[in-house]
Structure 1
């Protein structure tokens, strides 16, 4: 469709629909092929590697820009800001945690915070009219301005509307790029857990939705379905409550990220002691590394510009076991969740690539 590199070898087409199913992991799909036979048959034999951290903001940022989190700068579900003691919730584009509900669209301008031209802007410049179909709460949001700007946003708040409006957008032009987003599996997995009856029913419904979408595609349309990350269940007994270990917050300015990938931002001069404390407490169940070590390992890609460097914690704690690092006094909802993601396990990192031409 455009001069963009075709790094995953997709067939050429004049119309392309990319459907992102939030939290559709490769391992979960393979383990439940009976519930999702259409997706399982359409999936390529090799998984894709989702962006690190394996969380929606970072992965959708990678999809929307074609760049890793170290370049687009959405480095976690919550991100520390230089002039705030509370991090920014990237999905909501507002301050996270206890305190006033401060929306940040005007002060943390999305187009400045994430300045890389999006895929949709590049498609528009090539003469296409890209469209994004998703929940009304996403339309015009800070996150949408950061990662899907350049696309005309169409609001779809039910699965039926998602299919109908996606098909309509595809049929409206001979050359078209349509991005569609489905968030149900992530929501159900967080609340009830992967492989719960609720999750299994949702996966089956999504498979039926994809099958209908595929069968009703206009001619010369390529349908691509993938996830932004997988998900793991964390028993309540395996939650690490930060307030139970006060040494973890000594010398800490801001705790950001998410329960399975924590960004620990230290007070000036305290990074070494913070690294030692977190390593001593959590080293057996998490990879506890410095910012420099994470960057040397290319976790955020081979190059991290200065504007992004400070959004990565001085210390990172990335779960290697079934744990979640939570703060009941900051985000009590986290303690109620069963499913989590964000770390580097294969279950969280690998996502399917289903292609229907």
Structure 2
């Protein structure tokens, strides 16, 4: 069964506005009921790929997080990293920040844009961007970090070096002082160091290897469970070093599903007829159709995928509220003409065009509970 993101009351886009309301930033409100009175130094720790259902299923591997878990929040749609980090960083649903998927068509360009790497497919240089894809123009709304800094909050971003000045960082997470982390332990140490100075402070820390292991080995694998143990230890290490006026909020950008069934777009001619570009990712495909072919493509995909996918046209998806209450003209133009969302453990792969991704064991992107529900664990000293 597919769920709908809880924009405005319980989603990733509500996290930083809620946090900033306690750090003295005007016009920000606590949408999540975090109860952080007295907190002046705060870290939001993003664990890429840690869905609430996966955390709940592994209390032995993550005893510290499990014992402190409360009701989950939702990611946005699609449940994918570029969209989720943009929702977190801007405090906006995808329909407003406009980064509406992993791989999307951009008007005026013949190839798809990879939002995570921030480059057009076939381009070897992310710095060589057309004017309309310059990150600060593509997503012009001030980020939560910029809003915080304007009102005297010290803002630090801790993550792998590839995030420093990347297109996605410039588009959705700009405004923070960047510090590189080189390992899980280093992430904990740098986070603790960033929280040492007195005064209103926001630290955003990111860890991505749990997601990598989930993709390659699967979220049900021994490797994934063992890595979760290390993540839990790092969370406990940061929590143990929080200042008296500090807090730690642990969130994730999406969960993950271990695949059991693959439909190969490259091997099914009926699915390719009338399709101009195929975007999205294996569990949530954007289908960009040729002029006049949308109805036929929709019928062909429904017949080919049977009950394993929910297939809807763009306007239906928007009407269901998947992208939020508002969808800008730019966002609308980037969404596929047809959307195909996995409703079980299936995926639409491309064995030829996306050979590496097609071999991965774990995927995400759809609106199942395993993908959409994510933790929002609040930890304060001695609580």
Q: TM-score range by the shorter chain?
A: over 0.9
Unaligned runs of 5+ in 2: 1-22
Instruction: Map Cα deviations across residues 140-162 of structure 1 (whole Å, 9 max, x no partner).
Output: 00000011101111111211211
Matched, 1:42 2:65: no
Counterpart secondary structure, 1:194: coil
TM-fit CA distance, 1:102: 4.6
- Contact preservation (8 Å) 1:233, 1:322: yes
Residue number among 211, 218, 229 corresponding to 1:204 in the alignment: 229
Q: CA deviation at 1:95?
A: 2.3
> Does structure 2 retain, via aligned residues, the 8 Å contact 1:223–1:355?
yes
Work out which of the residue numbers 235, 244, 267 in structure 2 matches 1:244. Answer: 267
- Asked if the contact 1:95–1:102 (Cα under 8 Å) also holds between the matched residues in 2, the reply is no
Is the counterpart of residue 219 in structure 1 residue 252 in structure 2? Answer: no
Q: 2:145 aligns with which of 89, 96, 120?
A: 120
Match of residue 315 from structure 2:
292
CA separation in 1, counterparts of 2:139 and 2:343?
Answer: 29
1:7 match: 31
Determine if contact 2:220/2:258 at 8 Å carries over to the other structure. Answer: no
Shift in Å at residue 100 of structure 1? 4.7
Q: SS where residue 365 of structure 2 aligns? A: coil
1:278 to 301, 307, 324: 301
Task: Tell me what 1:28 maps to.
Answer: 54
What is aligned with 1:169? 194
CA distance in 2, matches of 1:198, 1:110: 35
**Equivalent in 235, 258, 263 of residue 286 of structure 2:** 263
Shift of 1:104: 5.8
**What's 1:90 paired with?**
115
User: In structure 1, the residue corresponding to 2:195 is in which secondary structure?
Assistant: helix
In the TM superposition, structure 1's runs of 4+ consecutive aligned residues that sit over 3 Å from their partners are: none
Question: Given that residues 72 and 376 in structure 2 are in contact (C-alpha distance below 8 angstroms), is that contact kept between their aligned partners in structure 1?
Answer: yes
**TM-score, normalised to structure 1's length?**
0.96
Match of 1:325 among 342, 348, 361: 348
Q: Deviations over 1:63-117 (max 9, x none)?
A: 1111111111111111112233321111111223xx4525266311111111221
Q: C-alpha deviations, 1:228-281, integer Å up to 9, x for none?
A: 11001003xx11110111121222111111110000011222222221221221
Q: Is the 8 A contact 1:85 1:253 kept in 2?
A: no
Correspondence for 1:254 among 277, 280, 284: 277
SS of 1:120 mapped into structure 2? helix
Q: Decide whether aligned partners of structure 1 residues 112 and 283 sit closer, same or farther in structure 2, where only a CA change above 3 A counts.
A: farther
Query: How many angstroms apart in 1 are the aligned matches of 2:215 and 2:369?
Result: 18
TM-score by length of 2: 0.89
CA distance in 2, matches of 1:164, 1:69: 33
